[in-house]
Amino acid sequence: MMFQLTEEHEMIRKMVRDFARNEVAPTAGERDEEERFDREIFDKMAELGLTGIPWPEEYGGIGSDYLAYCIAVEELSRVCASTGVTLSAHTSLAGWPIFKFGNEEQKQKYLRPMAEGSKIGGYGLTEPGSGSDAGGMRTSARLEGDHYVLNGSKIFITNGGIADIYVVFALTDPTSKQKGTTAFIIEADMPGFSVGKKEKKLGIRSSPTTEIIFEDCKVPVANRLGEEGEGFKIAMMTLDGGRNGIAAQAVGIAQGALDAAVDYAKERVQFGKPIAAQQGISFKLADMATGVEAARLLTYQAAWRESVGLPYGKESAMSKLFAGDTAMKVTTEAVQVFGGYGYTKDYPVERMMRDAKITQIYEGTQEIQRLVIGRMLTK
């Protein structure tokens, strides 16, 4: 077993780290405060090839792998979790199902511009009445000649309103739930599609989260992704990989908070010496660092498994579960290390603590990850 990244992975890490430090970090606090998505940052990520890391060059990508993609999400999230999730939803929730289940025409028409970064992707599964119970969706798709007519709404859509292309799920057979679910590729300017309420959130505030609405939305049959009835499996398989992207985001958030806490603890003097030299704080830092490292190893392992074609659903649920909890724990401890200052907006750790919470909720709550892991252990 080799615990060493390849030269390519190291190169991507360095490139993204420099980019994150120079172009993303300086405005992270202000974008959070203003709840403002910055398209320029996304465009710069596109220039660097970050918007299509795992996709082959023939589809506009840079032909790397899922580990490189996770490293990129981690490095971005280390300074700005919102930027991390923008890339994560774009790549693993919207790009992946098109790469895996799309036909050649769909890949050229939709995956290519997304990989090149001229278009942003989103994913629509959750509905007001179906969150953890994804199979309980109500949005319907009725076949009428050469198109489907979609009606319903999806909520909590990451990249909602900024995405040009959405992969969404609707019932083509309302009598049979999961087996009646079909996947579609939606263009944001299709008649009958609109963007609804934008959520005001605790964290990841510069990543827009909105409702998307379908009112007699006409979607050509050519935009069906996979076959009728395959949608639920496509949704679940997409989340298998997506969850590891969230694990990478959580690792990045936790590492960012640890970095800040270590720097502060070395500078802050109380009782005549830096607080880092006091065991109460140094033990805290040691536990934080151990958690981050363990979360990173789980995340990289799941990404590596996906890259080499091994099963990764269970590992991905485990990495998301562990890394999400680690991010929450480490960011909370980072605020504690900073004491009163940590509770203010003068330092980034309060933002990191707010951002960490969502990693325990989206792409399946921690409770759903346990359910997925438990089922896989016993099936």
Kindly list the residues in this chain that would bind ligand CAA in the complex (CB under 6 A).
Answer: 89, 93, 123, 125-126, 132-135, 156, 158, 178, 232-233, 236-237, 239-240, 313, 362-364, 368, 371-372
Q: CA 227 to CA 331: how far, in whole Å?
A: 43
Give min distance, CB of 353 to ligand CAA, in A: 19
Helix residue ranges, H only, 96-230: 96-101, 104-106, 112-116
**DSSP state, residue 199:** P
Q: CA 307 to CA 9: how far, in whole Å?
A: 13
Buried b vs exposed e over 348-363: b needs ≥16 C-beta within 10 Å? bbbbbbbbbbbbbebb
* CA triple 73-124-96, angle to 5 deg: 45
Tokens standing for 304? 């590596």
Q: Give DSSP secondary structure letters for 259-294.
A: HHHHHHHHH-EETTEEGGGSHHHHHHHHHHHHHHHH
Strand 165-171 to strand 121-124: parallel, antiparallel, or no bridges (unpaired)?
parallel
Give min distance, CB of 272 to ligand CAA, in A: 47
Q: Looking at beta carbons only, is 61 or 364 nearer to ligand CAA?
A: 364
Cβ atoms within 10 Å, residue 206: 25
Burial environment of residue 332 by CB neighbours within 10 A (0 to 12, 13 to 18, 19 or more): middle
Distance of CA 8 to the CA centre of its chain: 22
Size of the chain, expressed as the number of residues it contains: 379
Q: CA 43 to CA 87: how far, in whole Å?
A: 11
Strand 147-158 to strand 165-171: parallel, antiparallel, or no bridges (unpaired)?
unpaired
Give min distance, CB of 134 to ligand CAA, in A: 4
State the catalytic residue, choosing from 74, 127, 333, 363: 363
Q: CA 114 to CA 110: how far, in whole Å?
A: 6
Strand-pair partners of 154: 212
Q: Looking at beta carbons only, is 22 or 176 nearer to ligand CAA?
A: 176
Give min distance, CB of 379 to ligand CAA, in A: 9
Check if 363 is active-site.
yes
Q: CA 341 to CA 61: how far, in whole Å?
A: 43
Q: CA 36 to CA 139: how far, in whole Å?
A: 29
Give min distance, CB of 241 to ligand CAA, in A: 10
Catalytic residues: 363
